[in-house]
Amino acid sequence: MRTIIVGTRQSALALTQTGQVVELLKQLAAEHGIACEFEIKKIVTKGDRILDVTLSKVGGKGLFVKEIEQALTDGDIDMAVHSMKDMPFELPEGLVVGAIPKREDARDALITRGFSSLDELPQGALVGTSSLRRASQLQHYRPDLRIESVRGNIDSRLRKLEEENFDAIMLAAAGLHRVGWQDRISAYLPPEICLPAVGQGALCIECRGGDAFILDLLGKFQHEPTALAVRAERAFLGRLNGGCQVPLGAYASVSEESSGSEEPLLTLTGMVGTPDGATMLKESASGRDPEALGKLIADKLIAQGAETILAEVRE
Ligand SMILES: NCc1[nH]cc(CCC(=O)O)c1CC(=O)O
């Protein structure tokens, strides 16, 4: 009987989604007669220790995953459950993505104080978000809105909606759904108005590349359409050298199931915008090769000046 130690951050969302993954893995193991048991180990990351600072100011990349990856490499844990959108483009030597399970809702959600949609927010309303991607798209659609930074875990951001006099805040729908707070959502923002972060709503189960037992179990947990979509989005991200702290968004989905020997058709939309929303570059295309599709959309945006926008933001 193998005991699999699963590492996770200790936020309410991280613990909830790790618990949900472990329950599903237990069922899978039972169905396939794989003898194992699970133990959850909480790990505090740099991102959790500096929740009061805007992430883009502290060099965001991998803030929520580094310590967890070290624990994997050191053998202190055997598997880690991450939010895909927190994953840096490159994994450390020796670690691999063991599974990408079925995606939750990828959209951003608006949580307001009594307004039922983005259009209903009054002129000049104050919206809390520290995401440059959300700010850019919100300002593009509603230049009159005022945007201020709000950080912290989901629970503390919801509290700040009341305490700091915001008219609305924006959060990923997936996180709210997972912790059972979907009742707090006032409106879902369609990708036409707000493209989600790369990988938003998806999870990434990371493990050691040499751990055949875990890889075998996780292989049964992969959801292929989600994995293909995430590969296309991350190829877009990689080409633009983006992290989650730049005004860049993308969303891919399978738009036509595979027929015969052909791979399914994916449709990917990507955006890069200035933080004030004045410039908004957006392109869409379909294809069967996720990496090629991601690079194609990135190249289309680069041809329109995306790299200049990103370089200015990084400065
Ligand atoms: N950047 C923090 C983060 N990382 C993952 C989620 C939850 C949504 C998801 O799993 O994609 C959130 C919170 C948010 O953006 O509202």
Does a structural domain hold residue 194?
A: no
> Which secondary-structure segment (H or E) carries 5?
strand 2-8
Ligand 1 touching residue 55 (CB < 6 A): no
Does a structural domain hold residue 197?
A: no
How many angstroms is it from 178 CA to the middle of ligand 1? 11
Ligand 1 touching residue 231 (CB < 6 A): no
Residue 202 has pLDDT above 70, yes or no: yes
CATH of the domain at 305: 3.30.160.40
Which pLDDT does position 281 carry in this prediction? 98
Identified catalytic residue from 78, 86, 105, 108: 86
> In this structure, are 74 and 143 located in the same domain?
no
| Catalytic status, residue 155 | no
Report, as an integer, the average pLDDT of 194-218. Answer: 97
**For 246-269, what is each residue's pLDDT tens digit?**
899 999 999 888 777 789 999 999
CA dihedral 120, 126, 131, 137 (to 10 degrees): 40
Ligand 1 touching residue 275 (CB < 6 A): no
> In this structure, are 11 and 135 located in the same domain?
no
| Of 245, 247, 242, nearest in space to 280 by CA | 247
Report the number of distinct structural domains present in the chain.
3
Does a structural domain hold residue 196?
A: no
What letter does residue 118 receive in the DSSP assignment? T
> In this structure, are 183 and 252 located in the same domain?
no
Instruction: Indicate left, alpha or beta for 54 from its phi (over 0: left) and psi (-120 to 50: alpha).
Output: beta
- Give, in order, the Cα–Cα distances in Å from 314 to each of 14, 87, 140, 145, 311: 28, 18, 20, 24, 5
ipTM: 0.94
Residue nearest to atom 13 of ligand 1 (CA): 172
Does a structural domain hold residue 31?
A: yes
pTM score: 0.93
**For 45-96, what is each residue's pLDDT tens digit?**
777 777 655 555 554 557 778 899 999 999 999 999 999 998 988 999 999 9
As a whole number of angstroms, the distance between CA 208 and CA 215 comes to: 8
Residue 187 has pLDDT above 60, yes or no: yes
Report, as an integer, the average pLDDT of 289-314. Answer: 96
Which pLDDT does position 53 carry in this prediction? 57
Which pLDDT does position 55 carry in this prediction? 52
Which residues constitute the domain of residue 176? 108-189
As a whole number of angstroms, the distance between CA 139 and CA 133 comes to: 10
How many angstroms is it from 260 CA to the middle of ligand 1? 36
- Give, in order, the Cα–Cα distances in Å from 303 to each of 10, 273, 295, 306, 313: 42, 14, 12, 7, 18
Work out whether strand 95-99 and strand 108-112 pair parallel, antiparallel, or are unpaired: unpaired
> In this structure, are 92 and 207 located in the same domain?
yes
Residue 244 has pLDDT above 80, yes or no: no
Banded model confidence at residue 294, pLDDT cuts 50, 70, 90: very high
> In this structure, are 43 and 89 located in the same domain?
yes
CATH of the domain at 170: 3.40.190.10
> In this structure, are 95 and 9 located in the same domain?
yes
> In this structure, are 234 and 218 located in the same domain?
no
Supply 289's token pair: 């090769």
> In this structure, are 97 and 127 located in the same domain?
no
**For 93-125, what is each residue's pLDDT tens digit?**
999 999 999 999 999 999 999 999 999 999 999
> In this structure, are 69 and 217 located in the same domain?
yes
**For 33-44, what is each residue's pLDDT tens digit?**
999 999 999 998
How many angstroms is it from 288 CA to the middle of ligand 1? 28
Percent of the chain that is helix, strand, coil (3-state, to 5): 35, 25, 40
